[in-house]
Structure 1
Amino acid sequence: MQDRQGLATRVFPSDRPVDLPPVLLLHGIASSGNGDWVEPGTVSALNDAGRTVVVVDLRGHGDSPAPASAAETGAPAQAQDILAALDGVGVETFDIAGYSLGARLAWAVAEEAPARVRKVVLGGLSPVEPFSMVDIAALRKAVAEGVQPEDPFTGMIAGLVGSRGPEHAPGLALVVEGLASTPFEPKAWPVQTPPVFVVGQDDMMTQGIERIVDLVGGAELITVPGDHFGALAGAEFRGTVVRALGQ
């Protein structure tokens, strides 16, 4: 079997490097590393703090190749993709900041390679698996034929998938399908240092996150201004990432 193509990966070195590992940034669903991390200024803020930053586009997103099947987009498979991308740029030990889907996959990366992960920020993390509520057959039909799903939530996901254009929609639908087949069911935190959870004060997607925080002894929960999208773009979120990973 031919090896699948790796993820699009960019490294942003600092002009004033400090003696800390690189920071891996993981974006949300139907977004990209550029949209979630470069444009809002998080990469620049981390560089200013002396950190080298690694930004990947998840499979089916940004400049990364589309998946061939849903088997390539379950959480464990995506974690292996991410680790292979880090191997490709020579990064062994690293910190992680992930947002929304990126936070979900940051947890999966920590499970796959706990000895390589130093500190983690989990932003905008849903305490449940939202994609398990998607009618996959209806989503496939929406992408292939433009048929609007009857279920409102599936219709919302179909709209999100379709918003990236016909060239990305089939791959994004496979991402949703793969994640639905490997739902988020967190147990013990695998890394020695507990993570920092960051949520927007008006973010409905993170309601009930305290249940997940309570699973991790010593974890910190920080609330910043904004809803699910506004929090990510805010200065308080950027500052929290820099401070939490800089200790």
Structure 2
Amino acid sequence: MPSFNNGDVEIAYLDQGEGEPIVLVHGFASTKNVNWIYPAWVSELTKAGRRVIALDNRGHGESAKLYDPAAYRIPIMAGDVAALMDHLKIERADIMGYSLGGRMTAWLARYQPQRLRSAIFGGIGIGLIEGGGPGENVADALEAASIDEVTDPVGRTFRAFADQTHSDRLALAACMRGSRGLMTREEAGGIAVPVLIAVGTMDEIAGSAEALGNIIPGSQVLDIPNRDHMRAVGDRVYKSGVLDFLAQRQ
């Protein structure tokens, strides 16, 4: 996979297809492959005539591993996305983020709106503002010597996922601690680009999509039926809803 450097941080990415660009930003402890290639997002979007760019967030996948939580603040991680667009000479794009990637996308939508044609927040609802979901329990689970020592159920889920993907657990723990900054209600209310909020109806991590939709002017809400946080990613309702949303702006 190709890579580039944002400052001294190497970021791996993929760039496939032709047409209007869409940038995909994966969730915590995931990778561009796990979040976007394996669930067939990249193939679906390229078939729909889109140029698809996806990165491994810092601390994840094939990108640089950092161990200072301060290196994972949301504006810094979102800056990697903007830097990748600069590297590829892409002035504006649709951007879709899932979970942590949704937080990064929201920051870009609020503070660099000129770079976005539209924003898709997958797996993140009112938790963008109110928090909740994984936190220090997950960081502790990632740092445990063995999964057998982890008793917290949410921590155990993320630890098992990190083990399955052969991730750098210490880098992920630093990311968890550094990326928990929330957006204020006023900041979210100032997002002016077209927004789609897509959350599984059984997702207890993201928070309510409707509640966030009531704050972001003109946003659309897509309920992904009977899916939790982990299983919503590849759902066909999610994919068809995103394709319909993107088609509205062609």
Please name the residue that 1:51 is paired with.
Answer: 50
Map of 2:79 onto structure 1:
80
Displacement of 1:111: 2.7
Q: Specify the alignment match of 1:244 in structure 2.
A: 245
- State how 1:108-119 maps to structure 2 within 5 Å: 108-119=107-118
2:89 equivalent in structure 1: 90
Give the fraction of aligned pairs with identical amino acids, expressed as a percent: 27
Q: Shift in Å at residue 75 of structure 1?
A: 0.5
Q: What amino acid does structure 2 have at the position aligned with 1:104?
A: R
The structure with the greater share of residues assigned to strand is: 2
Once the two structures are TM-superposed, the CA of residue 8 in structure 1 deviates from its matched residue by 0.7
Q: Please provide the CA RMSD for this pair.
A: 2.6
Residues in 2 aligned to 1:80 and 1:175: alpha-carbon distance in whole angstroms:
15
Q: Which residue matches 1:63?
A: 62
- Report if the CA contact (8 A) 2:117-2:194 is conserved: no
Conservation of the 8 A alpha-carbon contact between 2:17 and 2:50: yes
Letter in 1 for 2:208: G
Looking at structure 1, the residues matched to 205 and 39 of structure 2 have their Cα atoms a distance apart, in angstroms, of 20
Query: What are the ranges of 5 or more consecutive residues in structure 1 without an aligned counterpart?
Result: none
CA distance in 1, matches of 2:74, 2:133: 12
Q: Give aligned pairs, total.
A: 237
Please, which of 7, 11, 32 is the counterpart of residue 3 of structure 1? 7
Structure 1 residue 79: deviation in Å?
Answer: 0.7
Asked if 1 retains the 8 angstrom alpha-carbon contact of 2:22 and 2:96, the reply is yes
Q: Return the alpha-carbon distance in structure 1 between the equivalents of residues 179 and 230 of structure 2.
A: 21
The aligned counterpart of 1:99 is 98
1:152-191 → structure 2 map (5 Å cutoff) = 153-154=154-155, 156-165=157-166, 168-180=168-180, 182-186=181-185, 187-191=187-191
Counterpart in 2 of 1:208? 208
Matched to 1:134, the amino acid is E
Deviates more, 1:67-76 or 1:126-135: 126-135
Q: Flag the 1:168–1:200 CA change in 2: closer, same or farther, 3 A.
A: same
For 1:230, give the aligned amino acid: R
Contact 1:6 1:84 in 2 (8 A): no
SS at match of 1:64: coil
Secondary structure at the residue paired with 1:244? Answer: helix
Distance 1:189 1:137 in 2: 30
Q: Secondary structure at the match of 1:22?
A: strand
Q: Which runs of 5+ in 2 are unaligned?
A: 1-5
Q: Which deviations, in whole Å up to 9, do the C-alpha atoms of 1:166-221 show, x marking residues without a partner?
A: x61111111101013x2343423444333111111222223433222111122111
Per the TM alignment, residue 159 of structure 1 is displaced from its structure 2 partner at its CA by 4.7
Three-state SS of the structure 1 residue aligned to 2:94 is: strand
Provide the TM-score with structure 1 as the length reference.
0.84
CA contact (8 A) 1:120 1:245 kept: no
Q: Structure 1 residues 203, 82: closer, same or farther in 2, change over 3 A? A: same
Query: Cα–Cα, structure 1 residues 46 and 150, in superposed 2: closer, same or farther, change >3 Å?
Result: closer
CA distance in 2, matches of 1:99, 1:138: 23
Q: Kindly provide the amino acid, as one letter, of the partner of residue 10 in structure 1.
A: L
Residue 139 to residue 50, structure 1, CA distance change in 2 (3 Å): same
- Counterparts of residues 22-41 of structure 1 (less than 5 Å): 22-41=21-40
CA distance in 1 between counterparts of 2:121 and 2:138 reads: 27
**Secondary structure, aligned partner of 1:229:** coil
* 8 A Cα contact 1:118 1:191, kept in partner: no
How far the C-alpha of 1:228 sits from its partner, in A, is 1.7
| Equivalent position of 1:134 in the other structure | 136
Structure 2 partner of 1:223: 223
Q: TM-score, normalised by structure 2?
A: 0.83
